[in-house]
């Protein structure tokens, strides 16, 4: 018979020694339990082994002879420790829940770095005596649940959710299904997991590897970040366009853009460049940021509004100055039209990050480079091909006008860079 050493010893009256079978006394029991603790402290799963001759069903669990201890090691995967370190940087709190002996679980947890943040170890027996209210109060300080049953997973998940956290739970057995269902994200093991577990889970690990979960989080953050870039770019562009048209009306100026020009601005800036931002390479420090609730974060809203307002002021001022400088309405409208488009192209590069400088690998997104280059070529054709002048109400600008427009449009970059700098220091 094999089982937990303390349980097996309770059923033993004898032990095998070098001198033969002897009676098992209190001192020997203490020595065996001490050895079992020592082995467990080396991250071994320890089993006590006993036997009994002429065993029957009625006498199976008494009067046995203790044969010895067996230690089995189930080492963590090499990549698990690194994945847990990444979680710590990313603001994700990994918690270990296991049926292993407390000493074994603690040894494994220390090897993985789970107890580096001062978390403590709780046993299944302690959980049984702990009311739900107390568990909710202490759950954030518990890093390891040892010697527990699958039912205790559900209590742990419930406690984390009650504290307002987003909880993910892994499992492979039928008894894990309620906890997986309760968690925000249930993760089933694809190799060792049961059909019931996979049905209850929201995600299945094909390789049963914790590091794959961390990789999935990184991929998800990259997708989420690109959605933010896409929205920030489009919304700031719309704010700038609305501000320009509304400001012109309030100041009693002529309409700065025709309907076709507005259509083209939306097509040129909201088309290929926006799509290129949606597949932007992920930022390098993505897994060093804390989780954020909601998509409209303070840096995003700040840059979006600042860009839209600055675009409004620049284009409104440019159009008013061009009209009052003796230029024709067609020339003033063309200058404003080009300025609006160029500002939004500058925005596309700035909005690749809401915190890092645009000078940090500015051309890393090759698809954005291609998209902007293509749109600039089309813009030049619209301005200089005579047969397009009537359709787009454009004017063939002299070089001096291009220099004025380019310099004004480029002012958006230092403004956004200053805002990012203040946000980083804040």
* HSE-CB of 54 using CA atoms within 13 angstroms: 1
pLDDT of residue 426: 66
pLDDT digits (tens, 9 = 90+) for 301-340: 899 999 999 999 999 999 999 999 989 999 999 999 999 9
Burial zone of 167 (CB within 10 Å; 0-12 exposed, 13-18 middle, 19+ buried): buried
pLDDT category at 348 given cuts 50, 70, 90 is very high
Q: Check if the beta carbon of residue 176 is closer than 8 Å to that of residue 153.
A: yes
Share of the chain above pLDDT 90, in %: 46
pLDDT of residue 184: 92
**Per-domain boundaries in the chain:** 2-73, 78-214, 220-425
- Give alpha helix (H) positions in 102-209: 102-112, 124-128, 132-138, 151-162, 177-182, 195-200
Separation CA 273–CA 51 (nearest Å) = 75
Average pLDDT, the chain: 89
Instruction: Check whether 173 has a pLDDT greater than 70.
Output: yes
Instruction: Check whether 99 has a pLDDT greater than 90.
Output: no
Q: Report the alpha-carbon angle 322-328-334, nearest 5.
A: 70
Separation CA 408–CA 403 (nearest Å) = 9
pLDDT digits (tens, 9 = 90+) for 178-191: 999 999 999 999 88
Residues 6 or more apart whose CB falls under 8 angstroms from that of 235 comprise: 304, 308
pLDDT of residue 180: 92
Coil/strand/helix, residue 120: strand
Separation CA 320–CA 30 (nearest Å) = 93
pLDDT digits (tens, 9 = 90+) for 120-162: 899 888 898 899 899 999 999 999 998 888 778 899 999 999 9
pLDDT digits (tens, 9 = 90+) for 26-85: 888 888 888 888 887 776 778 898 888 777 766 677 788 888 888 887 777 788 888 999
Separation CA 142–CA 115 (nearest Å) = 9
Nearest to 327 by CA among 218, 254, 241, 236: 254
Cα four-point dihedral sign 81, 86, 89, 94: negative
Q: Which CATH architecture has domain 2-73?
A: 3-Layer(aba) Sandwich (3.40)
pLDDT of residue 292: 79
pLDDT of residue 320: 94
Which tokens is 150 given? Answer: 């699958």
pLDDT of residue 109: 86
pLDDT of residue 238: 92
pTM (global) more than 0.85: no
Instruction: Check whether 404 has a pLDDT greater than 90.
Output: yes
Phi-psi domain of 24 (left: phi exceeds 0; alpha: psi -120 through 50; beta: other): beta
Separation CA 186–CA 204 (nearest Å) = 8
CA 190, distance to chain mean position in Å, is 22
The pLDDT of 371-386, averaged and rounded, is 94
Q: Report the alpha-carbon angle 126-177-108, nearest 5.
A: 50
Topology alike, domains 2-73 and 78-214:
no
Instruction: Report the interhelical angle of 78-89 vs 210-251 (nearest 10°).
Output: 30
Residues 6 or more apart whose CB falls under 8 angstroms from that of 198 comprise: 188, 190, 204
Nearest to 213 by CA among 203, 227, 222: 203
Which tokens is 173 given? Answer: 């057995």
User: According to the CATH classification, is domain 220-425 in 1.20.1110.10?
Assistant: yes
Pairwise pLDDT comparison (406 vs 285), residue with the higher score? 406
Separation CA 376–CA 368 (nearest Å) = 12
pLDDT of residue 76: 76
- Give alpha helix (H) positions in 252-364: 259-270, 272-277, 298-324, 329-350
Which tokens is 41 given? Answer: 């402290």
User: According to the CATH classification, is domain 78-214 in 3.40.50.1000?
Assistant: yes
pLDDT of residue 355: 86
């Amino acid at each position: 018979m094999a089982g937990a050493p303390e349980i097996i010893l309770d059923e033993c009256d004898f032990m095998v020694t070098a001198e033969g079978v002897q009676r098992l006394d209190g001192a020997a029991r203490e020595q065996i339990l001490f050895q079992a603790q020592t082995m467990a402290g080396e991250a071994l799963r320890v089993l006590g082994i006993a036997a009994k001759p002429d065993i029957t069903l009625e006498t199976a669990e008494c009067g046995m002879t203790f044969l010895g201890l067996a230690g089995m090691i189930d080492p963590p995967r090499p990549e698990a420790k690194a994945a847990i370190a990444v979680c710590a940087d990313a603001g994700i709190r990994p918690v270990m829940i296991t049926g292993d002996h407390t000493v074994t679980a603690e040894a494994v947890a220390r090897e993985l770095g789970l107890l580096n943040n001062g978390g403590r170890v709780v046993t299944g027996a302690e959980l049984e005596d702990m009311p739900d209210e107390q568990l909710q109060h202490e759950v954030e300080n518990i890093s390891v649940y040892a010697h527990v049953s699958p039912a205790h997973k559900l209590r742990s998940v419930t406690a984390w959710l009650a504290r307002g956290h987003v909880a993910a739970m892994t499992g492979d057995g039928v008894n894990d299904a309620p906890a997986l269902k309760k968690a925000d994200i249930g993760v089933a093991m694809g190799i060792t997991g049961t059909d019931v577990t996979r049905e209850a889970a929201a995600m299945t690990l094909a390789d049963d590897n914790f590091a794959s979960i961390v990789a999935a989080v990184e991929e998800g953050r990259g997708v989420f970040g690109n959605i933010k870039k896409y929205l920030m770019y489009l919304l700031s562009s719309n704010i700038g366009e609305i501000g320009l048209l509304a400001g012109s009306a309030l100041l009693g100026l002529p309409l700065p853009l025709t309907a076709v020009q507005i259509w083209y601005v939306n097509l040129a800036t909201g088309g290929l460049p926006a799509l290129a931002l949606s597949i932007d390479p992920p930022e390098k420090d993505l897994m060093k940021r804390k989780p954020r609730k909601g998509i409209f974060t303070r840096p995003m809203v700040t840059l979006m509004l600042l860009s839209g307002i600055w675009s409004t002021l620049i284009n409104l001022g440019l159009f008013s100055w061009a009209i009052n400088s003796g230029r024709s309405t067609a020339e003033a409208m063309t200058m404003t039209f080009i300025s609006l488009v160029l500002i939004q192209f500058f925005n596309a590069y700035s909005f690749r990050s809401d915190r890092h400088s645009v000078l940090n690998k500015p051309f890393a997104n090759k698809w954005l480079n291609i998209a902007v280059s293509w749109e600039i070529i089309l813009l030049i054709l619209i301005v200089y091909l005579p047969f397009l002048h009537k359709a787009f109400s454009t004017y063939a600008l002299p070089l001096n006008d291009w220099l004025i427009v380019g310099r004004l449009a480029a002012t958006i970059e230092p403004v956004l860079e200053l805002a990012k700098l203040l946000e980083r220091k804040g």
